[in-house]
Amino acid sequence: MAVKVASEWLNSCSGCEVAILNLGETLLAVLPQLEFVHIPVLMDHKYFGQTGEGDPHHIDIPQAVVGIISGGVRNQEHVEVAEAMRKSCDVIIALGTCATHGGIPALINQWPNADLFERYYRGSESTDAHADPTGKVLPACLDRSYALDEKIKVDIYLPGCPPHPDWIGEAIVALLEGRAPQLPTKSVCDTCPTIREGKGKLKHLHRFTKNAHYDPAKPVSEMHCLFEQGLQCMGSVTRAGCAGKNGQAPQCITARVPCQGCYGPVRQNGNQLLDYLNALASNQIDFTSLTDKTTLLEFSGGHGLLRAKAGRQ
């Protein structure tokens, strides 16, 4: 019998859902074994009955074995949808770094909502100044943007911005086979083929204002490590996975660009900022050469790691 799947997206961009579609023919192959009961991006199942006739206090998510949730939790509606998913699904998968660690949207946690609204509705050069939209029809914003497990229990963490389709496929197939998915546990550096010569000579990091030094005719495996070239490469403090199961190199490195850190910390509860500062210190690299330290938490600012700075309203 087909396994029932429900899918939801909260404070998200839909990149995780596109990553699911990027399974391509693999997805077609497993489709007969899956029965989607709720997935707003593809299917017209509604929260309150198909004509809105249902109980307005009860979000209806059909019972499912697997619940896939992308996005962090930013407003009251997200909380309610996440709770409804938790009630209806046996296993909850947090899909993508917004759900697992806060992701890019958690950068807003450095400001109180009042600052955002002031800028957005009254401080913008193209906007006719107006009071904040506070109509009853809008769900209230929470005080900040949360990772999913700050609001509901999560069973499987699938980080990545977005997660590589190989790992989404692995999670689906593992659940169909009744086993735990085999997901990456190493760092991006552990999967990177570039040449490391030792960090001894490096004293400062510099901004990515010109391209890395490499021969475009030669493969990535013949390029000097981008961190050792003095770029702020996040590979050492970031979970591996972006190369997929059979990739030759991490994705940013393939583009000859330093790792951005999008899979979050190597361990689920790690801290990319502290780990990175430690790495710089242990190699005698001047940490003041970092242009913006909060960039180190660009993908993992949930769980209270990024906070409003003093002096902001």
Partner 1 sequence: MAPTTVAAPAESAFAHGAGAQKVINIQPVTRIEGHARIAITLNEAGGVADAQLNIMSLRGFEKFIEGKPAEEVPKIVNRICGICPWMHHTASNKAVDGCFNAVVPPAGRKLRELMQVMAQINDKILHFFFLAAPDFVLGAGADYKVRNVLGIVAAAPELATQVVKMRQAGQMMIEKFAGKVIHPIVVVPGGFAKPMREDERQEMLAGTKEQLEFAKFCIEFAKQNIFYKLDRATLGLGEIKTGFLGTVSPDDGSLTLFDGILRLMKPDGSHQEFTYAQYADFLGEHVEDWSYCKFPYAKTWGEGFDMNLAHPKGIYRVNTLARLNVCDKIGTPLAQAELEEFRSRFGRPAQSTMLYHWARLIELVYACERVIELLEDPEITDPHVRNEVTPQAGRGVGCVEAPRGTLLHDYCTDDNGLISRANLIVGTTHNVAPMNMSIRAAAESVIAKGVVTEEALNKVEMAVRCYDP
Min dist. Cβ of residue 86 to partner 1 (A): 14
Dist CA 92 CA 100 (whole Å): 12
For residues 115 and 109, is the Cβ–Cβ distance under 8 A? Answer: no
209 or 282: whose CB is closer to partner 1? 209
Grouping H, G, I as helix, E, B as strand and the rest as coil, residue 251 is helix
Min dist. Cβ of residue 190 to partner 1 (A): 18
Q: 112, 106, 114, 144: which is closest to 132 by C-alpha?
A: 114
Min dist. Cβ of residue 131 to partner 1 (A): 8
76 or 182: whose CB is closer to partner 1? 76
137 or 201: whose CB is closer to partner 1? 137
Min dist. Cβ of residue 165 to partner 1 (A): 10
For residues 157 and 16, is the Cβ–Cβ distance under 8 A? Answer: no
Grouping H, G, I as helix, E, B as strand and the rest as coil, residue 73 is strand
For residues 185 and 191, is the Cβ–Cβ distance under 8 A? Answer: no
Residue 183 CB neighbours (<10 A) = 18
Min dist. Cβ of residue 261 to partner 1 (A): 10
Min dist. Cβ of residue 295 to partner 1 (A): 6
186 or 206: whose CB is closer to partner 1? 206
Dist CA 248 CA 222 (whole Å): 12
155 or 295: whose CB is closer to partner 1? 295
Residue 307 CB neighbours (<10 A) = 11
Grouping H, G, I as helix, E, B as strand and the rest as coil, residue 66 is strand
60 or 155: whose CB is closer to partner 1? 60
Dist CA 175 CA 158 (whole Å): 13
